[in-house]
Chain A
Amino acid sequence: MQIMSAQTNAAARDTPILECRNLSIAYAGRTGDVPAVVDFNLALMPGEAHGLVGESGCGKSTIALAIMQYLGRAGRVVGGRILFRGRDLLAMKGEELRSIRGGAIAMVYQEPMASLNPSMTIGAQLIEVPMYHESMERRAAAARAQMMLDRVRMADGERIMRSYPHQISGGQQQRVVIAMALLSNPALLLLDEPTTALDVTVEAGIVDLIRNISTEFGTSMLYISHNLGLVRETCDRVTVMYSGEAVEVGSVASVFRGMRHPYTRGLFASMPVPSADKNSRPLVSIPGQPPPPRARPPGCFFGPRCASFVAGRCDARPVPLSSIDASQGHASRCLRVDEIAWDAAPAPGPGNITATVGDIVLKVQELSKRFRHVTANDGLTFDARRGETVAIVGESGCGKSTFARILMGLIQANSGSIDLAGLELSKLPVTRRNANTIRSLQMIFQNPFDTLNPSHTVGSQIARVIRKLGVLRDESRVRERVLDLLDLVKLPRDFAERRPRQLSGGQKQRVGVARAFAGNPSVVVADEPLSALDMSVQAAVTELLIDIQRREGTTLLFISHDLSVVRYLSDRIVVMYLGQIMEQGRTHEVFTPPYHPYTEALLSAVPIADQRYAKRKVLLTGEIPSAANPPAGCPFSTRCPYRIVGTCDRRPPPVQEFSASHRIACHLPREELLAMQPVFEEVTQ
């Protein structure tokens, strides 16, 4: 440890902890270097939290890896410098670098399970850190580790220390990883999507912890995320990345309130806000997709997708970052920054008409499914009407995917019924359903990289569905229908000949949509169809779904954990927790009080990027209980902030009706539920 005089201390406060100067990074490809990051600048002050946002492939993780000197053999810094406390990180070697990694600079990765050694107890892994970096004695190190677990708000630290990683939940694992990173008292903490793998209510807890790290520990943070809402909640400053370039930099407040780059503005326009639905504020997606790193356009990389693009100017030469507001450090890489009317409302999307909701097509009653000791679905009762979107919302283990599998006939229910157009489906496996039933009930899957068979062309996969479902038999008509379906999902017709690996994630998901709609289904189940897509692509696929649904009058069962998309897309919402329905009602009924306490927590966990909204914080303690060992009484009673001891943990909650469509299963007195305050509030500026 160096002892600094007061004077150098003050000077240290003005010099950045981390500085990237004109940093350029490239990966070695088969035909030469592929630039991944171009001309990146960053100055991270002590105690500051800096967000790095962008879509997949924009180079944000590459920057973190370059700082840690973990680029691997293919990656290489081709220009610029990375200074850590004024010393060049790139020039460091061996022992010096090792003492900085995990010591002065620590990193937290996306997958907590992959960061922990599965064959060592948590305690042993934590103790190693101070023992190695500070040559601390084992006993003192153990005490430090225990204390650190308390500081990352883990109750029961002693038990955690004795556990192996697989014995604790994902949220606890991530807290352990953060504790481990903080144990060496780092000056800089790099967080690479630390909450992406977690459930929303668990994420909210971790985000709350991260937000307090810099004040509590004085650590500077570089927070990498694709989620603008999370950056707003955790960071002071933000850099928006696009295709390897920083397109906009500044304080979170100034960038989020007055964005000065078309890409940033496009991102905001493509995100749903908590007060609006598909009818009042349609999403506007960014057309096209990011350029591949090998074939970036000349001039502005965003040019081909930009509405304000001017040929001959924007594509003339590389665009420099130009300062907008020096006091906020706000800068944008846009030539036309003074010409675009930034405050004008974004161009409205295609005109929307309110869908006509028809008769009940799907009726689920008292549906239950048990796997040996696990009750996955317990007494589900709801229905869906023609042309309606019903969202099933819940976190992992809530039974929403089990329900989808029962509906599709992949597994059978134990009791209860599913009525689709007069046919009882709950115990009818797909192999015994007739073509007509199969055709009228189709599914869109979660993972775009998995939804298409990599070995067959897009066209042949859609054609197979058409033939199999008996829609058409004549070969030329089948081929015609394939092309029609590609038109329907707004993909070029020559995609029929392509293989899935030549498509981007959003394009694959569009093919998945085309496949689901091939047989003119009456009900389509969409299992988290957007969660693996980038923000700007999400909006486009959402619009597509709404559009097709309106045209075909399809009933959409939309399974999701993302309440902002649900708010936007759905007409009715079913909130599930541990296999039971906690609350159901029309969208505006669920989003305004009275809330079920779990719904309230879910709503509060949604990260909101839009500066016009403030939200009330409701943090849940504890983890989602295992479905194999659910709590007695109300399943939510272990985490509920309003728990009535002696009632909630004993008896199952009664269902209280607030309107013909709005039902809440809760022990709280009706008056108390009615007196709840809204979670979101519009801030008047």
Chain B
Amino acid sequence: MNSRVVILLALIWFPLTAYVMFRSALGALANYLLLPAIPSVIVLYVLALRSWRESWVAIVGVSLVSFWLLMAVAAPYLPLVDPNKPLVPFLAPGGVRHGILFLLGSDMRGRDVLSRTVWGCQRVLVWGITATSVAYAVGAGCGLIAGYLGGWWDEFVSFASNVLLSFPVMVLFILVLNLLGQSGFNIIIAVTCSSAPVIMRIVRGLALDAKSRDYIQAAQTRGEHPLWIMLVELLPNVRGPIIVDASLRLGYTTVAITTLTFLGLGLQPPDPDWGLMIKEAATAALLWKYSYMMIVPALSVSSLILGINLIADGLREMSLRD
């Protein structure tokens, strides 16, 4: 990954996270925060198309993900009605009322489904990626320690991860969110508890293998600090499998977060979120006439996760080819 890509990702990522998590604290600045992110998404997409052109799977994946990323950063600037404002309930897709076109219809409280879907994308993306990153930081850190230092460190970390792994994932989520309360940050903790042990195992195995290499011995014989060896000598060499797993795991986490909101455990209303939309539409969607309220967010989740998984497949395919 070159520095250009890193800068572009930062230009998209930090404003978007700040916007979603701390919008009220930002005040007037919030209105301009996401502007530079829009061209960044487009440039990133073009770069991805160029470097991944050998793998059509990755191209399809990156197209889907980029579309939703663009929706997320552009949401404040698109000509959309307020996603939380009740206007006309139960309007079929394509209907026009008060001079407003409801392209994807309105839900049972009269809110625009298109607007809610586009805005909802922000929350899913931000919380999903943040949670996965935190899980990775914790899991990879523990994995490196367990794999490289071994001994008691390994015993302790492996035992702790086995305890966490013994809980069914949903039970763990419900447990954490009931104990700590329902909020976006607690979702991060819940996701970390369930994902970090698995990540730790993967990284530990990779580190164990890489540890026996001569270049690690060379670093040891010149008296390098273990922290340096783990971060500079080991970590870059286990990144291949980690990147593939991270993109798959991002898909799982997105599903988990929408599932939690669907169960009423996750992000709180009224702000839109695809899981919440599916949940709220659940009763109305029993009638075929109103099923669009559920189908639209459901398809959105599926397409985003499909996109992420296709990128993962493409990355694996390309890594095997070299």
Contacts and interface: CB of A to CB of B under 8 A. Distances in A.
Q: Is the interface of B mostly helix, strand, loop or mixed?
A: helix
A452 B213 CA distance: 9
B314 to A, nearest CB: 16
A433 interface: yes
Interface in A461-477: 465, 468-469
Given A30-B321, A455-B237, A468 B215 contact: no
A430 B215 contact: no
B221 A453 contact: no
Interface stretch (A220-228, A442-450, A580-588): A442-450
Contact of B233 (A445, A453, A465, A512): A453
Contact of A408 (B213, B221, B239, B321): B221
B320 to A, nearest CB: 12
Interface string A502-542: 00000000001001000000000000000000000000000
Contacts of A469: 222
B183 interface: no
B283 interface: no
B71 to A, nearest CB: 35
B218 A445 contact: yes
Contact of A443 (B218, B233, B321): B218
B217 A445 contact: yes
B155 interface: no
Contact of A450 (B54, B214, B222, B321): B214
Contacts of A410: 217, 220-221
Interface string B221-251: 1111000000011001101000000000000
A117 interface: no
Contacts of A433: 223
B221 A443 contact: yes
A430 B214 contact: no
A438 interface: yes
Contact of A445 (B54, B214, B222, B223): B214
A279 interface: no
A661 interface: no
A102 interface: no
Nearest to B239: A455
Q: Which of A435, A438, A445 has the most CB of B within 10 A?
A: A445
Contact of A430 (B221, B233, B236, B321): B221
Contacts of B214: 445-447, 450-451
A438 B237 CA distance: 26
Given A30-B321, A454-B237, A455-B237, A430 B220 contact: yes
Contacts of B239: 455
A499 to B, nearest CB: 11
In this complex, which of B54, B218, B220, B321 has the most chain A Cβ atoms within 10 angstroms of its Cβ? B218
Given A410-B217, A451-B218, A456 B223 contact: no
Contacts of A453: 215, 233, 236-237
Nearest to A455: B236
B223 A451 contact: no
A30 B318 CA distance: 12
Contacts of A553: none
A559 to B, nearest CB: 13
Nearest to A527: B214
A409 interface: yes
A438 B222 CA distance: 6
A452 B216 CA distance: 9
A468 B220 CA distance: 12
A431 interface: yes
B221 A442 contact: yes
A453 B218 CA distance: 10
Best-surrounded residue of A435, A443, A469, A512 (most CB of chain B within 10 A)? A443
Interface centre among A30, A410, A446, A468 (most CB of B within 10 A): A468
A468 B223 contact: yes
Contacts of A431: 223
Contacts of A30: 54, 321
A452 B214 CA distance: 7
Nearest to B216: A453
Interface residues of A, number: 26
Contacts of B54: 30
A446 B217 CA distance: 11
A408 B218 CA distance: 10
Contact of B223 (A430, A447, A452, A454): A430
Contacts of A447: 214
Nearest to B238: A455
A431 B228 CA distance: 13
B224 A456 contact: no
Question: Interface centre among A443, A455, A469, by most B CB within 10 Å?
Answer: A455
Given A447-B214, A453-B215, A435 B220 contact: no
Interface string A398-424: 000000000011100000000000000
A452 B218 CA distance: 9
A456 B236 contact: yes
Contacts of B217: 410, 443, 445
A450 B213 contact: yes
A515 B218 contact: yes
Nearest to A451: B214
Nearest to A408: B221
A439 to B, nearest CB: 8
Interface string A330-360: 0000000000000000000000000000000
Nearest to A446: B214
Interface in B181-220: 213-215, 217-218, 220
B209 to A, nearest CB: 11
B242 to A, nearest CB: 13
A515 B215 CA distance: 11
Nearest to B237: A455
A91 to B, nearest CB: 32
A30 B322 CA distance: 10
B157 to A, nearest CB: 22
A460 to B, nearest CB: 10
* Most-contacted residue by chain A among B213, B214, B236 (CB, 10 A): B214
Contacts of B233: 453
Residue among A433, A447, A450 with most chain B CB within 10 A? A450
A438 B215 contact: no
A468 B222 contact: yes
Contacts of B222: 438, 442, 465, 468-469
Nearest to B213: A450
Interface string B158-193: 000000000000000000000000000000000000
A453 B228 CA distance: 13
A438 B223 CA distance: 7
Given A30-B321, A455-B237, A435 B218 contact: no
B5 to A, nearest CB: 17
Interface in A228-267: none
Residue of A433, A446, A451 most packed against chain B (CB within 10 A): A451
B54 to A, nearest CB: 8
Nearest to B54: A30
B221 A438 contact: yes
Nearest to B222: A468
Interface string B246-277: 00000000000000000000000000000000
Nearest to A430: B223
Contacts of A435: 223
B310 to A, nearest CB: 21
B14 to A, nearest CB: 26
A431 B217 CA distance: 13
13 contacts: A408-B220, A409-B221, A430-B221, A433-B223, A442-B221, A445-B217, A446-B214, A450-B213, A451-B215, A465-B222, A468-B222, A469-B222, A515-B218
8 A-B pairs closest in CB distance: A455-B236, A445-B214, A450-B214, A453-B215, A451-B214, A408-B221, A450-B213, A438-B223
Given A431-B223, A468-B223, 16 more contacts: A30-B54, A30-B321, A408-B220, A410-B221, A430-B221, A430-B223, A438-B221, A438-B223, A442-B221, A450-B215, A451-B214, A451-B215, A452-B215, A455-B236, A512-B218, A515-B218
